[in-house]
Amino acid sequence: MAKILVVDNEKSMRDFLAIVLEKEDHQVSVAENGEVAVQRLEKEIFDLVISDIKMPKVGGIELLKKVKEASPDTVVVMMTAFASTENAIEAMKEGAYDYLTKPFKIEEVKLIIHNALEKKQLKAENVLLKRELMDQSRFSHIVGRGEKMNKVLELVQKVADSRSNILIFGESGTGKELIARAIHYNSSRRDKAFVTVNCGALPEALLESELFGHMKGSFTGAVANKEGLFEVAHEGTIFLDEIGDTSPAIQVKLLRVLQEKEFRRVGGMKNIQVDVRIIAATNQDLERAIEEGRFREDLYYRLDVIPIELPPLREREEDIPLLAEYFLKHFNQSLGKQIKGIEPEAMNLLINNEWRGNVRELENVIERVMALASGPYLNADDFRDHLQRQISGMTLQTEIPKEGLNLEGLISKIEKEFLLKALEESHWVKKEAARRLHLDFRSFRYRLDKYGIRKPKPFAARDLSQDREPEEESSDSSD
């Protein structure tokens, strides 16, 4: 049922439409002229207004303008006995949905009203979907409460509504696109398009066509004109992931868009103006790429107006339990599982894993483990076969990269990994762990203190079911 206002200076027409529309279960009000209609609109919100175009004092076109000022979401259908192309064009330009010429058939009226109200409903649903997407893409899905991620989120909030371009640095899997979405949906551009492009996934010719579009016949396979993604993102945001993988030719074209706010389609002769905010991301050292001649310095400084650096997961140990809990809930739903929690020893394995693939690797590991798990809790044995410690690979690594090698850091990492492995295999009996590593007990304890390694305590009661008895914390007599 919709609220409809019928405006016509002929009583017979008002009564006729009221009867027809009320039989369709709509709530109908009537107004004998434009002035009365304006008064009604000041007091009520209507889903649809159907109005005569020729009325004294306040005519239909003037009423249409006032409707759009007062209630932009109200759909307006115009009527007239004096059909003319000029009247129809003027009404459409001012925002009318459709145009009826008197006399008209009942079925014609019903169809136009139905379509008009359906359009309004679809528009409202679209707004709701955008709001839902915006809510999902704000900060609720960015999991992390540690100091480093808090600093990132504070910066995102500060720069979200800025017009400046942003360059996000971070290893693969750290969530660069998630941060880019949060920036867009917290900005004034939130109601416009957010377009993502993986620059490293496309060859140069295809990437150029995707970004800037092409004209029919400009190359083999160009069978029709095609808009580029910069056109699609007009007044919105474009996210250029892996910007460091672009070719010099693409970099020149991107620089032009940044400087001139315009570009040409492939094979085109016309400059196309766009208003697009650019957020770029890379896992490369672009300053080194500039030194090696692989990346344009002028493009770098155009993109790097506001830099945001995402920390790798190995530097966010305090966030790992939160992420694990988040993925546990997510995959319980998507996999149809009812896993109640993660055991303390298993959580400790996750916290102390290296996570070279960052958050994406953690997500994949938990998904694999949950897909295969049969018990109500995930334990350490569930995870051991899936964690990629690669200790032996590190010990065999003898190649020194061009940028050099932090030998102290590498040795410390290997030592810590072996200490943890020995403790896990000996169920945290320290003397047994020391024996496995051929260390005297004093030296073993010194190394544990050096790296701050402690026996894991029962982790986060919220990860375990309420009906399960918590483990009693015994004194550490394993020394």
pLDDT tens digits, 223-267: 767 788 998 888 999 999 999 999 999 999 999 999 999 998 888
pTM score: 0.56
Higher-pLDDT residue of 367, 468: 367
What is the mean pLDDT of the segment spanning 101-120? 84
154-310 maps to CATH 3.40.50.300? yes
Per-residue pLDDT reduced to its tens digit, 118-163: 887 787 667 656 655 554 444 556 777 788 888 998 999 899 988 8
315-463 maps to CATH 3.40.50.980? no
Residue 415: the pLDDT is 86
The boundaries of every CATH 3.40.50.2300 domain in the chain are: 3-131
Tell me the average pLDDT of the chain. 82
The boundaries of every CATH 3.40.50.300 domain in the chain are: 154-310
The boundaries of every CATH 1.10.8.60 domain in the chain are: 315-463
CATH class of 3-131: alpha beta
Q: Is 60 exposed, middle or buried (CB count within 10 Å of its CB: 0-12, 13-18, 19+)?
A: buried
Min mean pLDDT across 115-119, 196-200, 319-323 is at 115-119
